[in-house]
Amino acid sequence: MNIFQRTKLIKDKAFELGFSHVGISKAEFLEKEARNLETWLKKEYHGKMSYMENYFDFRTDPRKLVPQAKSVITFLFNYYNPQKQSDKNAPKISMYSYGNDYHKVIKKKLRNLEQFIVDNFGDISIRGFVDSAPVMDKAWAEKSGLGWIGKHSNLINKEKGSYFFIAELILDLELETDLPIKDYCGTCTKCIDACPTDAIIDPYVVDGSKCISYLTIELKEEIIPREFHGKMDNWMFGCDVCQQVCPWNKFSIPHSEPLFNPSVNLLDYTNKDWEELKEETFNQLFKHSAVKRTKFAGLKRNINFLKS
């Protein structure tokens, strides 16, 4: 089987498993991204996310994760859901967390694909990643032609927008590579103008310590800094504002993954329901959800901050 045939075989299997887009890059050192990451860290835009300082070499060179790696396969998985929370006054939850935890859902699909590749090409070194390891997923997606990194720092696909999860397989198998595409943001500044906390400090540069997603999920302090009082746009978990205003998301289409559908009654919870949320209800409601990352105390902290 030649390089073109095995590349097609892998891509076809990925589409069969439900991935929306697949792109391939040569496994190599990310020189430009390494410089940008170093600058970003020095300016402390990572806030209290100290883990971002770890494994710098692994983040910028996939061959540190998989010795002798030749290819990085990047996958996009659509999670767009046009459903909205019924109570417009209720604290808001980011769309990506409506259903089951994407880490587990996509990891299972990656394992299936890993096994498929090993079954077809022998005992090769291969590792799969879903936003839980030192891998610069957006950089690899851009490098493999799946889109460009917009001014809000999210990946934008020209055909389907930006509501995607990103995953990778790094492997020591040579495959046909894809070419990057150009940046189509142009002069648009909608995401910069709309950010409630002014976290997009320059085009393509986000101060993570000001991002609502960081404040509601990553920040583990007992109290959210008072400087953000009145600026949270009623978000209690994550934030979708920069994606909601992006013109490219007019091309988004609803996902087809049943496990990403909202938990029972989640979108029907009223403002009063959230204010009176008990730990038992939290555990039941978010049993399989990424929202568990905040734990009950964290989500209550967020809700109370919005009401203070």
- 131 catalytically annotated: yes
pLDDT surpasses 90 at 284: yes
At 264 the pLDDT is 76
CA distance 126 to 124: 6
pLDDT, tens digit, for every residue of 85-133?
999 999 999 999 999 999 999 999 999 999 999 999 998 999 999 987 8
Q: Which of 155, 133, 131 is nearest to 144 (CA)?
A: 155
How far apart, in Å, are the Cα atoms of 266 and each of 35, 84, 153, 282? Answer: 42, 10, 29, 11
Give the architecture (CATH level 2) of 3-171. 3-Layer(aba) Sandwich (3.40)
Domain boundaries, the chain: 3-171
Q: How far apart are CA 177 and CA 25, in angstroms?
A: 5
d(CA 60, CA 259): 32
Structure tokens belonging to residue 33: 């991204």
Helix (H, G, I), strand (E, B) or coil at 296: helix
To the nearest whole number, what is the mean pLDDT of the chain? 97
Cβ-based burial of 298 (10 A; exposed 0-12, middle 13-18, buried ≥19): buried
Buried b (16+ CB within 10 A) or exposed e, 113-136: bbebbeeeeeeeebbbbbeeebbb
- Cα dist. 57→37, 73, 126, 134, 181 in Å? 11, 19, 19, 9, 26
Rounded distance, CA 89 to CA 272, Å?
9
Asked if pLDDT for residue 275 goes beyond 80, the answer is: yes
What percentage of the chain exceeds 70 in pLDDT?
A: 100
CA dist list (Å): 278 to 213, 274, 282? 23, 9, 6
Tens-place pLDDT, residues 178-230: 999 999 999 999 999 999 999 999 999 999 999 999 999 999 999 999 999 99
Q: What is the pLDDT of residue 65?
A: 96
Is pTM beyond 0.85? Reply is yes
Question: How many angstroms separate the CA atoms of 209 and 226, rounded?
Answer: 13
Q: Which of 57, 61, 119, 131 is catalytic?
A: 131
Q: Directed axis angle between helix 3-16 and helix 102-121, to 10°?
A: 150
